[in-house]
Amino acid sequence: MEIIMRKVEKFTLEFDKAFDYFRDILEDGNTLSSELLKTINLKQGFFYTLLPKEAIKKRVYRFCYGGLIPPKDVGNKPVYLENLKKEFVPLKVHTLHDELTEFINNWLQINQTSTCIFEDITSLFSLNYKEPLFLSHGLFYYKEIYYKITKRTSSIQLIKDCMYVSDALWHFLCILTEVDFSDIKDKNLTLKKIKEICLNTKIIIVGAYDGEGYVFWERK
């Protein structure tokens, strides 16, 4: 089902150009990432990104680099850098974090059986792990940590919180899947459940453009 976005457009990417980057991101992830690669035939879907009107489209395939979206002058006075012996004007880097938050929230409201899963690659589960976000929305597989959001629990702030803790410098992954989680006990995922999650995944989202944006894969 199509999501109506404001301020951005869906820009379809050439499959072969996006595939290598997408595969590299999943290869560097945890079990969910690796099982997505094993389970899903990516040729059964298509790649795209979300772009604001000011995006520099000729840079859309430079997935590892920033500069896709021109930075904004924040209106500050020039700052003199003593070590460089020159002035510079501070600029604000524009990202698509808010737009992704809106995308996920809209998807969950429209597709009522969908669940959003975030992969937190930097945190490690232990029996003493008491982070509030994990206690309220977390899952674990051995020492790996994931976060789950449904239509019932979804809010802009919760999505932002999950994005924040899951966004490592080199890896960001979230998926939209259609799976019944009622059989999960004590937040404990099994490999069988992770495979089921992957088999029923509709959208995969990975970080790109040096944190400015994202690359999406959507099942046809």
Phi and psi torsions of 120, nearest 5°: -100, 100
Between 16 and 94, whose confidence is greater? 16
pLDDT at residue 75, as a whole number:
60
Neighbouring C-beta atoms of residue 66, cutoff 10 Å: 16
pLDDT at residue 2, as a whole number:
47
pLDDT at residue 90, as a whole number:
60
Confidence of residue 206 (pLDDT cuts 50, 70, 90): very high
169: exposed, middle or buried (C-beta count within 10 Å: 0-12, 13-18, 19+)? Answer: exposed
Whether residue 124 lies inside any domain: the answer is yes
pLDDT at residue 85, as a whole number:
66
State how many domains the chain has: 1
Whether residue 94 lies inside any domain: the answer is yes
Confidence of residue 91 (pLDDT cuts 50, 70, 90): low
Whether residue 2 lies inside any domain: the answer is no
Whether residue 44 lies inside any domain: the answer is yes
Average pLDDT of the segment spanning 198-215? 97
Whether residue 1 lies inside any domain: the answer is no
Please check the confidence at residue 220 and state whether its pLDDT lies above 80: yes
Give the domain range for residue 61.
Answer: 8-219
Average pLDDT of the segment spanning 10-25? 97
Q: Does pTM top 0.75 for this prediction?
A: yes
Whether residue 3 lies inside any domain: the answer is no
Q: What is the dihedral of CA 11, 34, 105, 187, to 10 degrees?
A: 180
SS3 of the chain: CCCCCCCEEEEECCHHHHHHHHHHHHHCCCHHHHHHHHHCCHHHEEEEEEEECCCCHHHCCCCCCCCCCCCEECCCCCEEECCCCEEECCEECCCCHHHHHHHHHHHHHHCCCCEEEEEECCCCCCCCCCCHHHHHHEEEECCEEEEEEECCCCCHHHHHHHHHHHCCCCCCEEEEECCCCCCCECCECCHHHHHHHHHCEEEEEEEEHHHCEEEEEEEC
